[in-house]
Amino acid sequence: MNPLANPPQSLAVELVGLHKWYGSFHALRGVDLAVAPGERIVICGPSGSGKSTLIRCINQLERHQAGTVSVDGEEAAPDPRRLQSVRRKAGMVFQGFNLFPHLTVLQNCTLAPVQSGLASLAEAQATALELLARVRVADQAHKHPAQLSGGQQQRVAIARALCMKPKIMLFDEPTSALDPEMVKEVLDTMIELARDGMTMLAVTHEMAFARQVADRVVFMDEGRIVEEAPPQDFFERPQHARTRAFLGQLLH
Amino acid sequence: MADVTLLARPQPSSRLVVLVKRLFGGPLNALLTVLVLWGAWSAAAPLVRWAVVDAVLLPAEPAACRDATGACWSFVVAKSGQILFGIYPIDERWRPMLVSAALLGLLGYSLRPAAWRPSLAVLWAIALPASFLLMFGGFAGLSYVATTMWGGLPVTLILAVASLGGALPLSILLALGRRCELPAIRILCVLFIELTRALPLLTILFVASILLPLLVPEWLLPDKFFRALIALLLFAAAYLAEVVRGGLQALPPGQAEAAQALGLGYWRTQRHVVLPQALAAVIPSLTNTVIVMIKNTSLVLVVGLFDLISSGKAALADPEWSSPAMETYLFIAAVYFALCFGFGRFASALERHARTDP
C-alpha cells in the first residue's frame, strides 16, 4: 500500500525529520515515517535502536527535540489540550501492561472515557463490557488486575485502550513480558484487531505476527530507519547487511 | 514396597498447657518466671496503692486530699471543667463543650469506612467554621469571647484538626510541586520544604507570635491563635510533603504514563491514578507524622495559648488544693493518648481498607 496514494485523507501517523536526545545520547537521528489509515506496521530492530522511543514519541510520552509528529493530521505540540487530543487518537499498549492495580478491570476501562467526558458512566461500562468480551475477559470485569494472568492483563490493557475509541493503536513490545504460553492469546487478539481494520504500529520481535499481519516491516538501528518493506520482501530479500545480520540472529 | 503408614497429626495442646510448659518447664525456667513475676509485682504494687488503694477517688473537699497519701483524683474531678475548657467564661462553657463534643463525635463518625463519602468532607467543612463561630460568639445574643480566653480541649482539637486538615492537601500540592517540570514551582516548593524542616517548631511559633507583630502592621495580622494555627499547618505540611513524595516516588512511572496515554490530563492523572496508590503506600508514615503533630499542638503554650496542658497547669495554681500535678498530667496524658491511639486505629482501618477494597 502506498501511503501517499490518497492525499486528501490525512495520514494516520506522519513523522518528519524526528530527532530525540536523552542528554547527550542521540536516540532518534532523523526518522521519517508515514502511515496511512488502516495500515499495519511492525517495527523491529536490536535493543537500543530507538524503536520504543519512536513509538513513544508518537503519543508524546517522549518529547522530541526536532522534527514533527502528526497523528491523524494533527501536529503534536506541548500545549496540554493538543497533547490530550493526540493521545486520545492513539491508544497505547505497554510491555508491562500498566493496568491500574487499585481499580477493577471494568474501572480500568471506564476511567478515561468518563473522566474525558467522552461517555457517561453507564455508556462507558456498556462499551467496556463489549470490548472486554471481544478480548475474551468479560468474566473478569469485576476482579482486580493482580487476580488475572499476564495474558489476561494484557488483553484488558488492549480493551482499555480501545475504550477511548482511538484511530490508531500503538503496541510497545506487548508480548515481551509474558510467559511463553500466554503470548499466543495476546497475538490472536492483536490479529483480530488488525482484521477489523485498525491502524496499528507494533514494536515486536514476533516475526510470525509480522508475516501474518503487517503491511510493512520497519527495521531500525542506531536511531535510524534502515529498511522498510512489505514482510515478504523484508524476510526473503533484506537489502541491508544490518537487516540480514539482525534476521540471522532472530532465526538462530 | 514399604508400608506407608498414615500418621495422625498430633493434636495441638491447649494454650494454657503450652504457656505453663514454656514458663515452668525445667527448674531454670521456673526460677526465672518466679523472679520476673516478683519483680513486676514489686514495681506495680506501690503504683496500685498510690493510684487506687490510698487514693481519694470520689469528689471531696480539698482537705481530704491533704491528708491522703495516695492520688488525689477528686482534684481532677473537681477541676475537670477548668482543665478541659480553660478560662472560657463559666456561664458560656456549654459552647466549648458543644464544640468539643461535635468535633470528637465527628472524628468518631469519620472512623467508619461506611462514612468515607464526599459528604463527610462537606460535614467537616461545615463543622470547623461553625466551631470557630460558636467559640467566638458575638452574634444572636452570644457574648463575644476572644481567643485569649479560649483554652483546653477545644483549643487542642481545633488546632490539631484545622492544622492537619489544611496541611494534608497543602503537602500533596508541595510534593507534586517538588516533582514539577516547571523550575519556578519546583524551586519554590523545595525552598519551602527545606526551610521549614530546618527550623524547630518553637522558633516558627515564636516568629509567628512575637516577631511578626513587630514587622507587620497590626491591621494586617490575624489573631495570635490563627498565627499559631497557620504556623502549625505550614510546619506539618513540610513534613507530610516529604512523606507523600516518598509515596509518589515508589509508584512505577508506567502508571502515570498509562493514564497520560489514555488522554488524561495532569490533574486527573494525579487524582485518579497516582495519588490513590501513592497515599495508600505511605499510610504508616503519614500516621506517624500526624500523631507527632497532634502532640506538637501542645507547644503553643510557649506563645501564651491555653491548650490542654497549659489549662491543666493553670488549674494547679489554685491555692486551695495541694497541687496534685501528677494526677493532672496523667489525666491530660490520657486525653492525648485517647486522641492519638484513636487516630492510630483509624489509620490501620484505612490501611486495611486500601488493601482489600481499593
ipTM of the complex: 0.91
Q: Tell me the nearest-neighbour CA distance from B340 into chain A, angstroms.
A: 28
Q: Enumerate residues 263 to 292 of chain B having a beta carbon within 8 A of any beta carbon in chain A.
A: 263-266, 268, 272-273, 276-277, 280
Dist CA A110 CA B130 (whole Å):
39
CB neighbours of residue B30 within 10 Å: 12
User: Is there a contact between B341 and B108 (Cβ–Cβ < 8 Å)?
Assistant: no
Q: Tell me the nearest-neighbour CA distance from B177 into chain A, angstroms.
A: 17
CB-nearest to B261 from A59, A85, A116 is A59
The rounded mean pLDDT for chain A is: 92
Go through chain A and tell me how many residues it has.
252
User: Mean of the pLDDT values across residues B16-36?
Assistant: 88
Higher-scoring residue by pLDDT: B89, A93: A93
Dist CA B3 CA B17 (whole Å):
35
Q: Which residue has the cell 490575624?
A: B222
Task: Residue A79: name the closest of B271, B266, B188 by CA.
Answer: B266
Report angle CA B42, B46, B51 to the nearest 5 degrees. 140
Dist CA B238 CA A210 (whole Å):
53
Dist CA A101 CA A92 (whole Å):
18
Q: What is the pLDDT of residue A109?
A: 96
Q: Please check the confidence at residue A15 and state whether its pLDDT lies above 90.
A: yes
User: Is there a contact between A220 and A49 (Cβ–Cβ < 8 Å)?
Assistant: yes
Dist CA B152 CA A113 (whole Å):
51
Is the CB of B258 less than 8 angstroms away from the CB of A111?
no
User: Mean of the pLDDT values across residues A135-164?
Assistant: 95
Dist CA B74 CA B61 (whole Å):
8
- Please tell me the least confidently modeled range out of A123-137, A214-228, B5-19, B241-255: B5-19
CB-nearest to B264 from A91, A115, A144 is A115
Dist CA B319 CA B102 (whole Å):
34
Neighboring chain B residues of A87 at a CB cutoff of 8 Å: 260-263
User: Mean of the pLDDT values across residues A177-205?
Assistant: 93
Q: How confident is the model at residue A250 (pLDDT cuts 50, 70, 90)?
A: confident
What are residue A32's DSSP bridge partners? none
Strands (DSSP E) found in chain A: 13-22, 25-35, 40-44, 66-71, 74-75, 90-93, 168-172, 199-203, 216-221, 224-229
Task: Residue A129: name the closest of A105, A94, A153 by CA.
Answer: A105
For residue A195, give the C-alpha cell. 482484521
Is the CB of A100 less than 8 angstroms away from the CB of B257?
no
* A246 to A29, A47, A227: CA distances (angstroms): 20, 11, 12
Q: Which of A85, A86, A115 would you mutate first to test chain B, the one with the most B CBs within 10 A?
A: A115
CB-nearest to B260 from A87, A111, A161 is A87
Q: What is the pLDDT of residue B358?
A: 47
What are the b/e assignments for A45-56, b being 16+ CB within 10 Å? Answer: beeebbbbbbbb
B257 touches chain A (CB under 8 A): yes
B185 touches chain A (CB under 8 A): no
The rounded mean pLDDT for chain B is: 88
What are residue A168's DSSP bridge partners? A90, A199
* A178 to A16, A94, A181, A212, B254: CA distances (angstroms): 33, 12, 8, 20, 17
Dist CA B262 CA A123 (whole Å):
17
For residue A196, give the C-alpha cell. 477489523
Q: Please check the confidence at residue B99 and state whether its pLDDT lies above 50.
A: yes
What are the b/e assignments for A85-114, b being 16+ CB within 10 Å? Answer: bbbbbbbbbbbbbbbbebbbbbbbbbbbbb
Neighboring chain A residues of B259 at a CB cutoff of 8 Å: 100, 111-112
For residue A237, give the C-alpha cell. 530479500
How do strand A199-203 and strand A74-75 relate by DSSP bridges?
unpaired
Sign of CA dihedral A225, A230, A231, A236: negative
